[in-house]
Amino acid sequence: MALRTLESLGSLSGKRVIVRCDLNVPLSDSKISDDGRIRASLPTLNALLAQGARVVIISHLGRPDGAPEARFSLKPAAERLAELIGKPVAFATDTVGDSAKTAVAALEDGELAVLENLRFNPGETSKDADQRRVFASQLAAFGDAFVSDGFGVVHRKQASVFELAELLPSAAGLLIETELKVLDRLTENPERPYTVVLGGSKVSDKLGVIAHLLPRVDTILVGGGMVFTFLAAAGHKVGASLLEVDQLDTVRGYLTDAAERGVEIVLPTDIVVAAKFGPDADFVVTPIDGIEDTPFAEKGLGLDIGPATAEDFARRIRASKTVFWNGPAGVFEFPAFAQGTRAIAAALTEVDGLSVVGGGDSAAAVRVLGFTDDQFGHISTGGGASLEFLEGKRLPGLEVLGW
C-alpha cells in the first residue's frame, strides 16, 4: 500500500478537517524560544485553507500527566501560529469540552481553531486501546476528515495519531510527505560518500540506528556524551564523564563489526574537559588519553569535542555527499562547550549534496547557534521518529495511513 496523501481526501471545501500538528515547541516563561515546528506546519495548513476547509488543529506540548497544567498550555503556540499564518486563530481552553465544541461550531470556511493540549486528557497517551479509542471518538466528532502532519509523534500509538486516523477518512499532510522523502534518500541508494554524525548524551538511544546504518554508510562520526562509552570501550579512561557501563560490550561489538565492513567509526582525538557541569566551569583541552591527567583528575568530565576533532569532523562532513546528523557534540547550551556543535553545523551548510539535521536537540542547536533552516538540506521535526525510521522500525502513525 502507498501512503495516503491530501489528494486522496478529495475536495475539502466547507468540510471540517482535523489536523494533527506537532506544536510541541520549547517554552520559557510562556515565551517560545524556537518556533520551527509551528513554521513546519504552515504548508499543510495553508493548503487546506486555500481549499476553503474549516481547520481544527490538535497537538500536544510537553509531558503533562493526563491533566491540565498551565505551563503546558498551547495558547502561546496558537498565538504564534496566528502571527505566522496572518489570520485569527481561535483557541479552545479544553480538548473535547464545551470550549472546544463552541470553537469548532463557530468555524467558517477558511478559518482555524486550536484545541488545548491533547495530553491534558488521559485518553491521549493511555496504554489501554479502549481508553484511547474513546478519546479519539470524541475528537472525531469535530471533523469530516483527518490529516496527520505531526511527524514527531508518528512512532507513538496515541489516540490522536493512530485511533483517530482509523475513525475518519485520513491522509498524511505535506510535512510528513517531505520527511519521508528525505528519510528514503538516507536509506535507499544514498549518494556517497555517506557520513552519519551521532551525538547526544546516551549511546543506548542510538544503538538501533547504529546497527541499521552500519551496512549502509561509509563513516560514522561520534561525539556528545555518548562518545565516552565508545572511548571506554576502546580502552581509554574517561574520568567523571557520562559512561554507560552496561553498553561497553555492545559498543565493542559495533567497533568490530564496523571494521569488518570497512565502515570507519571516527572517535575524537581531543576532548574539552571541565571541572564541573556548568557554564562557568574551568576547563582544559586534552588528548583522549589524558582525560584523567588534567588538573581535575578523575573528577573531570568531558563536555565537548576538542578543536582538532571539530576540524577533522568538519573536513569529513564537507567531503561527503550525504550527511545525517543527530545529537549535539557537546553541551551547546553553554557557550564554552558549544564549539564542536557549531563546527559540525557550519560544515553541514557547506555539503555539496544532501545535509539532514535529525530533529530534537540538533535542530534546537542550529537555531540557538544562529544558523537558519534554509542553510541545510532538511531539518527534521521528529528526532525520535527519524531515528526509529532509520532503525528500520514500522511506525504506527504511518502504517495507519497506508505506509
Between CA 314 and CA 295 the distance in angstroms is 29
Point out the catalytic residue in the list 360, 377, 382, 383.
Answer: 360
Active site includes 360?
yes
Same domain, 221 and 162: no
Active site includes 384?
yes
Same domain, 231 and 137: no
Contact assessment for residue 207 and residue 252, using Cβ atoms and an 8 Å cutoff:
no
Question: Nearest 5°: CA angle at 333, between 332 and 337?
Answer: 45
Q: Residue 101: exposed, middle, or buried by beta-carbon count in 10 A (0-12, 13-18, 19+)?
A: middle
Same domain, 31 and 62: yes
Residue 43 maps to a domain = yes
* Through-space distance between the first and last CA atoms of the chain, rounded to whole angstroms: 6
Same domain, 150 and 223: no
Residue 65 maps to a domain = yes
Residue 108 gets the label, from left (phi > 0), alpha (psi -120 to 50) or beta, of beta
Is 360 assigned a ligand-binding role in the annotation? yes
Residue 333 maps to a domain = yes
Is 156 assigned a ligand-binding role in the annotation? yes
Same domain, 39 and 165: yes
Residue 396 maps to a domain = no
Q: What is the CATH number of the domain that holds 197?
A: 3.40.50.1260
pLDDT digits (tens, 9 = 90+) for 317-365: 999 999 999 999 999 999 999 999 999 999 999 999 999 998 778 888 9
Of 146, 177, 208, the last residue of a domain is 177
Is 206 assigned a ligand-binding role in the annotation? yes
Against a cut of 0.75, is the pTM above it? yes
Between CA 29 and CA 236 the distance in angstroms is 42
If one counts every other C-beta atom within 10 angstroms of the C-beta of residue 29, the result is 6
Residue 183 maps to a domain = no
| Beta strand 270-274 pairing with 301-305 | antiparallel
Point out the catalytic residue in the list 237, 384, 393, 402.
Answer: 384
Question: Nearest 5°: CA angle at 393, between 387 and 397?
Answer: 90
Residue with cell 564542536: 340
Residue 355 maps to a domain = yes
Same domain, 135 and 234: no
Is 143 assigned a ligand-binding role in the annotation? no
pLDDT at 200 exceeding the cut of 80: yes
Same domain, 50 and 126: yes
Is 326 assigned a ligand-binding role in the annotation? no
Residue 397 maps to a domain = no
Point out the catalytic residue in the list 202, 216, 252, 367.
Answer: 202
pLDDT digits (tens, 9 = 90+) for 358-377: 877 888 899 989 999 999 99
If one counts every other C-beta atom within 10 angstroms of the C-beta of residue 172, the result is 27
Point out the catalytic residue in the list 4, 37, 80, 133.
Answer: 37
Of 177, 199, 219, the last residue of a domain is 177
Sign of CA dihedral 253, 257, 259, 260: positive
Same domain, 87 and 195: no
Is 383 assigned a ligand-binding role in the annotation? no
Is 23 assigned a ligand-binding role in the annotation? yes
Interacting residues of 202 by C-beta distance below 8 A, sequence separation 6+: 225, 226, 242, 244
pLDDT digits (tens, 9 = 90+) for 31-56: 898 898 999 999 999 999 999 999 99
Same domain, 312 and 363: yes
pLDDT at 116 exceeding the cut of 90: yes
Is 239 assigned a ligand-binding role in the annotation? no
Active site includes 402?
no
Same domain, 248 and 222: yes
Is 117 assigned a ligand-binding role in the annotation? no
Cα distances (Å, whole numbers) of residue 147 to 11, 151, 170: 13, 12, 6
Same domain, 291 and 349: yes
Count up the domains in the chain and report the number: 2
Same domain, 128 and 202: no
Of 152, 177, 202, the last residue of a domain is 177
For all residues of the chain together, what is the average pLDDT? Answer: 95
Residue 399 maps to a domain = no
Active site includes 253?
no
pLDDT digits (tens, 9 = 90+) for 67-110: 999 999 999 999 999 999 999 999 999 999 999 999 999 999 99
Is 109 assigned a ligand-binding role in the annotation? no
pLDDT digits (tens, 9 = 90+) for 216-274: 999 999 999 999 999 999 999 999 999 999 999 999 999 999 999 999 999 999 999 99
The arithmetic mean of pLDDT across residues 118-135, rounded, is 98
Range of the domain at 371: 190-391
Which residues are registered as beta bridge partners of 265?
220
Is 22 assigned a ligand-binding role in the annotation? yes
